[in-house]
Structures are given as C-alpha cells and as structure tokens.
Chain A
Amino acid sequence: MERLQIDSLLYRVEKPARYLGNELNSVHKTVDENMVRFAFCFPDIYEIGMSHLGMQILYHLLNRQKNVFCERVFAPATDMEEQMRSSNIPLFALESRQPIRNFDFIGFTLQYELSYTNILNMLDLAGVPIYSADREEEDPIIVVGGPCAYNCEPIADFVDIAVLGEAEEVILEVIDLYSKMRKEGYNKFEFLKKATLIDGIYVPSFYDVVYNDNGTVKTVTPKYEHVPGTIRKRIVESLDKVFYPEEIIVPYLNIVHDRIMLEIFRGCIRGCRFCQAGFIYRPVREKSFDRLRELAEKLVSGTGYDEISLASLSTSDYSELEKTVRHLMEEYGDKKIGISLPSLRLDSFSLQIIKEIQKVRKTGLTFAPEAGSQRLRDVINKGITEEDLINAAKDVFQSGWNNIKLYFMIGLPTETDEDILGIRDLVFKVVDEYYRVPKEQRGKRLNVTASASTFVPKPFTPFQWEPQSTLEEIYAKQKLLASNIKRKNITLDYHDPKTSLLEAVFAKGDRKLSKVLELALKEGCKFDGWIEHFDFDKWMAVFKKVNIDPAFYANRRQGYDEILPWDHIDVGVSKEFLIRENENSKQAKTTPNCRVNCAGCGINRAFTGGIC
C-alpha cells in the first residue's frame, strides 16, 4: 500500500499538525504480509483523543507485538473532512497514511454516547459499510471497547466485536486467534464464533433480541451453541504486572490533557450512586509506589513534559499518595516538573498535599459536592458534609486561593426545589468563608464558579432504573437556580440539557436505536458533543421519522422486573446489590465506602476470590 498524498490538503486546513502522525514516540513499522494491521480510532478530534490514557496504553501494548502494527485515527475536523471528501481521500491512519479500509481491525473506543454518529461518519469516510451485516469477508473487523461498550446495544448492529472490561489481555488473545486462523484458513464467521469463547468478548450479531409489545426487551438469546448467554467483563489482576507504556506520544499541538498521566489505581471504593465508573471499574487495584517511581522516571526522560498527573477515579484514596507525591516533588521539583492531582476529596490531608505541590506549579481547585443539600448528598451516597466543604474553603482561602470551582448536578432522583436552593446556600456559605479570612491573608478578587450539569442515568448504577428529568423540568430548575444565585463573585455555569437527553437515550438504549443513528448520519449529524455542531431539531426529526420516542429511554421509570437491554452483560456487580442501593437512596440511607465495610456488591465473588 502506498502513502496517501495529503500535503496539498495540509496547506488548506486549520491545525495541520493534527494529521502529521510523526510525533515523538509514535511508532512506525515496515509492513509485511504477516503483519496484523490495527487502526485505533478515537471518534473525536485529535486534541480530545490524544488526551485519552487508554489509547496510549493500548497503542504501545499492541506495537510491542512484533506481528502487530497499531496506528492512530481521529475524527478529522470538519474542514479536513471536506477537503478529504472533495479530493477522494478515504480515512487513513496517521502513521502510515494508508486507508484503514484495508486494515485487519478497526477499533473504536467508546468514551461518550454522543460520539456514536462520529463512529458511523468515520466508517463512511473510510469506505467501510456501516452495518456489520453488509460487510464482506475482506472488510475490516470492527471492534469497540471502553465504558460505553458495556451497553453497546444502540450500536450493536454496526459492531463485530465488543471488548468488555480492561483490554490489555483480551485484545492480544483476539489478535492471536486471528493471526493463527489467518495462517490456517480464515473465515470471519468461524473467527467470531471462536472469539466468543474468550472471556470478555461479546459478538452482538450472535444474539436474537425479542421485544414486548410495549417496546421493552422480552428475551436476548444466543443464536448458536457454545455462545455464552451472559458475557462477563475482563479485568487485569495486578496493576504492577500489567503493561504500562514507558514512553507516550507527545503531541505537537496543545491537547486537552497535555501531560504525563500516571495511573495510580483502577476502581473506586466510594460507590456514588450516579457514577458509572464507580461500578464498572470495580474492584480497586493499586499500582505500587515502586512501580510508579520507575514509570515516572522513564516517562519524564522520554517525553520532556513539565507535568505529571496522578490519574484515578479518586486520588485521595490511593494508599501511598503522600509518599508518592513527596518523592515526585523531591525528584523533579528542581526540573520544574509539576504534579497535578485531579479528583481530590475535601479532607484536610488532601489539602495539605495540594498546598505542597503548589510550590512547584500552581493549579486551579475544583470540588465536587454534586448536590446542594445534605439529604440529596445522602441520596446519591456522596459522603461529603457541608462542614467538609466549608472547612476546605476556609483552608484554601487562607492559603491565598481566590478561584475555586464547585461541581453540582441537577435533576438527581428525589430532587426538590429545596435541594436546588441548597446549591445556592452552599455556594453563598463558601463566599462568606472568603470574607471571614482577613484581607491581608486572602487573595484578591474572589471568583467561585458553580457548575451545574444535568444528571444522566447510566446502566450498571443504582440509578439505572430512574427517569431523567424532562427538558422542561431541567429548564425550570436551572431558572430557579440562576435567578437565586446572582451575586458578585459567583459565576454560574450550566448547559442546555438537550445533549444530556440524547446521552441518556443512547446510554440506556437498545438495538432499535441503530435506525436512528443510521438516519442521523444521513442527515449530517456529527460532533454532537460540540455545541456548535449539535442540532437538536434535526435529531428530533430523525426520532419522529423512525417512530421512536426518546422519552421511552430517557424519561421512563423502569421496574426492577423489566429486562434491561444490557442485562446479559455481567460487570461483576450484582443486580441485587444495585436494587438494594436504589432502595437505600430512596430513604437517603448512605452506604460506607468499601474500606470501612464491604457492601456486598458481588465483585469479590466474581473476580477476586472473596477479598477485594
């Protein structure tokens, strides 16, 4: 295959460095016949996709295999897509600039439901039929993974293989099977059938889905013998033994997360009831301090980055946090390499650490109380008290910060106007705390940003049965908050809930939605997560045309006895536990974190042999 000539296009588009493919630590290989070609696609633009840790891990893992060449593909920005279509240039992989329609595998990572149209658009741009049923023997195999793959039913008709869970081991097993069969006589059907024997592999086309008259799922049954009735996710056992890249690609462009990401642990002990990540990534597994020290050294010398971010779902819960931070500061402070700690909790220990790391590089502060009243924080099991927040605010204002962000959600289950006004009360109290600090001691010009996003119920959480508030309800709540929170120093940040509605539909959707996506693609919907591209009216017209009511998916309370479209997927957390947690939430009863007391979610029975 030859390299596509794209130079003349690069002179015509914005940020051409997105499409170069030769960044520091990118991998380039000479292709021979035995090479398995893998296109790792991120269905959004370069700056978003390159910020994704999972891609860096799998890219380097796959390229470590001699017989595999993994390359990156991002959704071309609209100007580039226009140029490509008018010059008949199909979607290509960045490294080799060869069309991905000739590759063995095209993999998509599913991070966000609103990127589904981009997936279809990328397949279309690649010249690959979007429906798996329309693809021929020699077409690439379409693989998906990532958090949305746990309920990939809305895109099930477009996908050949879904990888459930952590992919480091599974993906190699799939590729091994493929290359073995290719030597011994390959056919796609047999390959997919054998693939279903690998734990964590879901082949959607091997299942019949039957619906009740009211539109709910009646049955999901395997079509063939030996195809498993439920598919369990995969995890890696030891985060110290699992592959982690010792060099990562360093982009030319300024990307969203432009720094070394050091993964400190997977899973979360907290169990916030709205948070899908908190359930699907269980159990908690940590990387050891020694491993982190070793990785940091290699990544710093191999990239030249000036910042290391400790990545996890809840950084404060890492058992060797203090030791790790102290080491990184001692080792790299002189080189002016800063440390950032996202997802910190509000305890005094975390604040102490954050004050330490500010000595090298200053960062903003974000806290996430999520709900305004204590009752509602108990409903969602957030485990933060008003006192925690006020003490934290006092502490940071005394240390000279003048800019903090507070994250809230609106539309949470059981929420009343009182809870909404609770957000106002809490933010006001934070501001009052600033004025209590003596003038000489506090920073100048306080700015508190309160960000209110719309709650989206997600599969595999205790709130998976809960209806999302309707657009009208959300608008009313936003208005109530906005008109009551007007005060100097406070910025309220909220968004149109229309995208959240679509997010809920596709998060909880079933296979009937493939028709919606197909038509949306035809109508030109893409980059739906981008406010400048999102066209809600177009989407509503599409739903109407295929006679599907979005409210059926987003705004309907589902019964515990209803078969959910994702019930045949097993993430290790039992449905009984989720029901129990949902019931607890109705009584605002909290569940302690996993280290305090095992709540019996089932993950220890499924994966860890009794203990977490």
Chain B
Amino acid sequence: MAIMRSRFYKKDEMVFVSHLDLIRIFERAIRRANIPVAYTQGFNPHPIMAFATALGVGVASEGEYIDIQLTDNMNGELFMDKLNDVLPEGLKIIESRIIADKAKSLMSIICSSTYLVKLKAKELLNEADIKQCIENLLDREEIIEVKQKRQRRGRRSSDSGFKQINIRPLIKNIELVSLDKYEVLLKMHLAAGSRGNLKPETVVQKLCELTDLSIEQYETRVKRLDLFIDKDNEFLTPLDEDAWNI
C-alpha cells in the first residue's frame, strides 16, 4: 500500500464540471490507465482517493490536490504520465509523489488558499478607488455573513434556520493586481479547509455590499492559485515534506 499525492490543474471548459463529476472522471481515468489502485470494501467498491477541497462549478484552479491509494509502489513520473494520457483536456497532473504512510489526510491539513478574482466593474474606476474599497473592507472588525443552516434529514425547519458568522478572520489578505478599464483583477488569500472556509465569491459580494464598488453580477471569474498548510507563519503546500506530519 502506498499513497500517491498529486497536484493538478482544472481549467478551460473543465471548470464547468462539478466536484462529483470530477470524482467520476478520476475513477474512470484510473481504471483506463491501469493504475494499481486500492478499492474500498463493501457492496459498492470505489477506488480509494481523497481530494483536498471541493471546488465550485465555474472556478478554475492551478493548485488542486488528490491522494490516491495504490496497492503497489509506483514511480511518480510514470503515474503522472499514465494518468495524463487519459485525463481530458483541461485536467492535468503537474506533480506526483508517494507520501509517507502516516501522512495526514489532505482535508485535515489544508488551512488557506490563494485566488485570482476577475471582476467587471459597472463604471470606470481608478486604482485608488478600488484600493480604498479593499481597505474599507479590511478595516472592519466584523463582516457578517448570514448563512442558512444546512437542514438535517428528518428534522423540520425552525426559525433558527440562519446563523450569522463573522468572516473577517477568514480573510488573510486582498490586494489589487491590475486594473484594465472595467476589468479589476484581485488576489485573495482566504481560509480554506475544514477549520474554516471562505469562498472568494462571498468576499466579492461583501465588497459590493459594504463599499461603493458595483459590478456585473455574472461576469466574475475565479481561479485558485494554490492551497496551503500554515506552519509557524510559513505557508507550505501539500507536496512539501514538512507538511506531511502536521
């Protein structure tokens, strides 16, 4: 048994496949590539694999990660080539390596993620305006997001179906990358993973709600740059050996 950890990108038209679709794509690709994969037990066996996070439909990424459990050890380069041969255009493994047996699961170690966010402003703005908007947002101690509680099966909905959370602590940084007429390019560094997760789309929504920025609703495009494990004020990626035993 060995765990192969890989970084892959998801871009172009592949951004339109959902996380569940992605799981199926990988399962089938693994079978077509004849990768010696381990299967779950039980009545409905599946290849044992785990993703770091689920990416929303429409979001591109240069930094997605997947762990695949193999029955035999395998060279990372060979694994990568075999899988890339059968993955659809727009999905590609960039790096693969066997990780320590005792490495913790991707999902449990991820802390944050960086994104590029492209917005289309409704009016012509200058850089100073936008920077001011970002500053105004970041200056707040509280940014309240009202979330509908996930309904549990079999329970009736009650009035307390909403909860308020302060998302400010989940924002590490927002900066303006460039401005080209109406097109605003932002870089965001946000909490990600099971201990706190913030979507860039939510930040954009708050930016419009709480500052003077107004944008075309359907023109926002998001791309994840990478996922990080925060260790002693350092940001490690899941393929850094130092990140395996946190």
Residues on A facing B (Cβ under 8 Å) = 8, 10-12, 15-17, 20, 22-24, 250, 252-254, 301-306, 335-336, 358, 360-362
Contact = CB atoms under 8 A, between A and B. Distances in A.
A24 B88 contact: yes
B32 interface: yes
Interface string B205-229: 0000000000000110100000000
Nearest to A358: B43
Contact of B24 (A254, A302, A336): A254
B29 interface: yes
Given A11-B58, A336-B45, A362-B44, A20 B28 contact: no
Given A17-B18, A24-B88, A305 B28 contact: yes
Contacts, number: 59
Interface in B69-101: 86, 88-89
A306 B27 contact: yes
B83 to A, nearest CB: 11
A28 to B, nearest CB: 11
B44 A361 contact: yes
B50 interface: no
B16 A16 contact: yes
Contacts of B58: 10-11, 16
B21 A253 contact: yes
B86 A304 contact: yes
Given A8-B218, A254-B20, A254-B24, 16 more contacts: A10-B58, A11-B218, A11-B221, A15-B18, A17-B18, A20-B13, A20-B16, A22-B88, A22-B89, A24-B28, A24-B88, A250-B28, A304-B31, A336-B39, A358-B43, A360-B45
Minimum-distance CB pairs A-B, first 3: A304-B28, A362-B43, A16-B16
Contacts of A17: 16-18, 21
A10 B32 contact: no
Contacts of A362: 43-44
Nearest to B13: A20
Q: Interface SS of chain B: helix, strand, loop or mixed?
A: helix
B15 to A, nearest CB: 9
A335 B21 CA distance: 21
12 contacts: A8-B219, A11-B218, A11-B221, A12-B218, A250-B28, A252-B17, A304-B27, A304-B29, A304-B32, A358-B43, A360-B45, A361-B44
B24 A252 contact: yes
B146 interface: no
B39 to A, nearest CB: 5
A301 B16 CA distance: 26
Nearest to A300: B31
Contacts of A20: 13, 16
A10 B219 CA distance: 11
Interface string B125-145: 000000000000000000000
Contacts of B219: 8
B21 A252 contact: yes
Contact of A10 (B16, B29, B43, B45): B16
B220 to A, nearest CB: 9
Nearest to A362: B43
B19 to A, nearest CB: 12
A8 B218 CA distance: 8
A362 B42 CA distance: 9
A47 to B, nearest CB: 12
B57 interface: yes
Interface string B19-57: 011001101111110000001000111000000000001
